[in-house]
């Protein structure tokens, strides 16, 4: 069940409470709106700066009662230094980035299924079919890339579904070959997105939500300087 909200340009809705996927015993609600038409990319970019995330043709923002644990975070790409990850970067020096249009392949889906079965067998995406995957990737009204990462032999190691917004890159979803665990590809993809943002002269990489107290989300704190969105605007995470 949803409750509508009106704005001057778009209609927004509020979902009914459901179990929080990050903090046990809590309930979550989201405000969301539909993206479509010629203004979809502009709207998505503006909403990204206000903490919204995109899923297919929907932009959403947590709106939980008595809880504000979900904080939108973004890396300041121009000031980021990757010196602490030199060993990881050397380990992946054979990896190449291929920024492609948002089109799916059976090779990608095979890597995704291995990732979900190994890492998220109990998660909400565990039953994803090839058609679900196709919808997730290709049903986009905005400027979206599917970035493939391949090793020196051309084997597909990882993928990142990424939106290009006005001031940065927004990482929508990423996955990798679980058999390549020693490469730390989740971290590597974030590092490469920061580098790619610099190449494109973009200032930020949006990482979604950091949830204090959630082990799933704590890794995002490592990518400093990191800004989080508060009611008064974006500020540096200092602790």
pLDDT digits (tens, 9 = 90+) for 23-79: 989 999 999 999 999 899 999 999 999 999 999 999 999 999 889 999 999 999 999
pLDDT digits (tens, 9 = 90+) for 177-201: 999 999 999 999 999 999 999 999 9
Question: Cα separation of 59 and 191, whole Å?
Answer: 25
CA atoms within 13 A on the CB side of 147: 24
Torsion of CA 93, 94, 100, 104, to 10 degrees: -120
- Statement: 74-236 belongs to CATH 3.40.50.300: no
Residues with Cβ within 8 Å of residue 100, at least 6 apart in sequence: 145, 146, 147, 148
Per-residue confidence band for 121, with pLDDT thresholds at 50, 70 and 90: low
pLDDT at 239: 67
pLDDT at 4: 44
Q: Domain-by-domain residue ranges, the chain?
A: 2-70, 74-236
Question: Cα separation of 43 and 162, whole Å?
Answer: 16
pLDDT at 26: 92
What angle (nearest 5°) sits at the alpha carbon of residue 51, between those of residues 48 and 56?
55
For the chain, state the CA radius of gyration: 18
């Amino acid at each position: 069940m949803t409750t509508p909200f009106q704005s001057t340009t778009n209609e927004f809705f509020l979902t009914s409470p459901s179990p929080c996927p990050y903090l046990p015993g809590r309930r979550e609600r989201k405000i969301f709106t539909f993206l479509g038409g010629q203004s979809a990319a502009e709207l998505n970019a503006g909403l990204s700066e206000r903490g919204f995330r995109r899923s297919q043709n929907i932009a959403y923002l947590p709106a939980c009662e008595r809880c504000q644990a979900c904080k939108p975070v973004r890396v300041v790409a121009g000031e980021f230094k990757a010196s602490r990850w030199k060993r990881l970067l050397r380990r992946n020096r054979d990896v190449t980035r291929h920024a492609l249009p948002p089109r799916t392949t059976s090779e990608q889906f095979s890597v995704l299924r291995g990732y979900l079965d190994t890492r998220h067998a109990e998660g909400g995406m565990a039953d994803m079919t090839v058609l679900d995957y196709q919808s997730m990737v290709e049903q986009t009204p905005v400027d979206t890339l599917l970035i493939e990462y391949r090793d020196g032999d051309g084997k597909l190691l990882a993928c990142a579904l990424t939106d290009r917004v006005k001031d940065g890159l927004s990482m929508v979803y990423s996955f990798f070959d679980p058999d390549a665990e020693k490469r730390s590809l989740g971290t590597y993809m974030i590092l490469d997105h920061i580098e790619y943002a610099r190449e494109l002269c973009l200032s930020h990489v949006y990482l979604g939500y950091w949830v204090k107290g959630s082990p799933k989300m704590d890794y995002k704190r490592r990518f400093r300087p990191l800004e989080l969105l508060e009611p008064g605007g974006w500020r540096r995470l200092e602790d």
